[in-house]
Amino acid sequence: RLEVLREEMCVLVVLSFLTLAQGWQPPFGVNSWHTTLTNIGFRPDLAALYSPRGGWIERGNVVVLRADAADAAEGVRGFETKETEEAWQESNTFLTLKTKEAVLRAQLVEVQENIQHALKEDPLSIGIVGFGKFGQFLATHFIKEGNKVSVLSRSDRADQAAVLGAEYFSWEESDDKSRGPTEFFSQSHLDVVLISVSISTFELVMRELPFHLLSEPPIGRHPKGVLVVDVLSVKVHPRRVLRDWAPSGCDIVCSHPMFGPESGRDSWKDLPFVFEKVKVQNKERVERFLSIFETKGCTMVEMDAVEHDTAAANSQFATHLVGRLLEQLNLRPTRIDTKGFRTMLALKDSVAGDSFDLFYGLYKYNPNAPETLFLLRKALVDLEWRLKDMESSDRSSHLGLLEQGKLPK
């Protein structure tokens, strides 16, 4: 029985592969089945066994052989008891499911490879506004994936852009206006404009820079405009600003890569990428942009901005808050540090690497942050009072024992 099941599993896998990978259609009829299975290497007796008069069933893209009543009557699949038959049916169902699982996994791998090939065959042109640490981090990965990248920077980072292979534009308009914001936003090949500036300056940037040029269709630009993306650590604020200030012809995606140059230095696999499709006209372009992160292994999380900020107040802001508190304590490693203490030092050092401007932005532009700060302050006061209560109880207990003469004076 086990031998038969193993051979049946092998037949299913081979026929499924032929159907999916080569577009082969299973033959009808006993003789056709027998010839086909013999030609691909099965013993003649097994080929005869798996050439059922009942033909075959196609379930989705999976080929399943179907035995008929005559086979069972001839003892090919005879069972001693009903329990044995039920056990065989259960095993057969499980094997069929495992076959389908294997086929689907193979299909998924093929689809993912096709997506990567499509992205490389027709790369995006991405303009990055803000070329600080995070902007450079994203530009590096975008270029590695074959995308064309141009950057607009307030500080002079032309050398860094040249090293990465990105086209550089200065924040300040030059005399001939050839390499400033006007030229940057007038690029006809732009597919995406990604804004990587601080939370506190985001609205000012949207007001001051000539984003309106994105709605003016120069020769060669897609008729549905440009996709505008933010990567801020808060989401309600940039969603409101983009709705107010992004040109009407542009698509809008609010995103938050939950990683940075340190945590995402070696790999993006399983790192969360949160996004909300605020406004979408050109669906393919949006999916192509999101696929950059998906194909690099990110865990893609589509989430409303309000839900994001509620969750982030209890995770990201709280993490920065505690890290800043630990930094104020001026903690230093010792030779006898516990694992827990080393974890605290790692948190302190991680937060210390970020600017205070980021911390302020997380507080000011996340409506849930003040409540988190209040709850932390309240928790600290509550803990202090519990300690004082226990200390007072210990003192009262000690005095009582002294009065009873149970402790030496």
Domains of the chain, CATH where assigned: 2-117 (no CATH), 123-303 (3.40.50.720), 312-402 (no CATH)
Distance of alpha carbon 390 from alpha carbon 225, whole angstroms: 66
pLDDT of residue 95: 80
Residues 195, 226: contact at Cβ < 8 Å?
no
- Please compute, for residue 344, the number of CA atoms within 13 A of its CA located in the half-sphere on the CB side: 17
Please name the amino acid found at residue 381: V
Given strand 227-230, what is the order of strands in its sheet?
167-170, 148-153, 125-129, 192-195, 227-230, 251-257, 272-279, 299-302
What H or E segment, with its residue span, contains residue 127? Answer: strand 125-129
The structure tokens listed for 343 are 């974890």
Distance of alpha carbon 176 from alpha carbon 180, whole angstroms: 9
The structure tokens listed for 54 are 């009942």
User: pLDDT averaged over consecutive 10-residue blocks of the chain (409 residues)?
Assistant: 50 52 47 54 50 42 41 45 64 79 90 87 96 96 96 94 96 70 92 97 96 73 80 97 94 96 91 98 95 95 96 90 93 94 93 88 93 95 93 79 66
Distance of alpha carbon 45 from alpha carbon 8, whole angstroms: 13
Distance of alpha carbon 95 from alpha carbon 302, whole angstroms: 35
Q: For residue 214, give the DSSP letter.
A: G
Q: For residue 209, give the DSSP letter.
A: S
- Residue 274: beta bridge partners? 256, 301
What H or E segment, with its residue span, contains residue 256? Answer: strand 251-257
Q: What are phi and psi of 187, to 5 degrees?
A: -60, 125
Residues 309, 368: contact at Cβ < 8 Å?
yes
Distance of alpha carbon 48 from alpha carbon 114, whole angstroms: 39
Alpha helix segments (H runs only) across 231-355: 236-245, 283-295, 305-312, 318-328, 339-352
Distance of alpha carbon 75 from alpha carbon 190, whole angstroms: 70
SS3 category, 45: helix
Residues 109, 288: contact at Cβ < 8 Å?
no
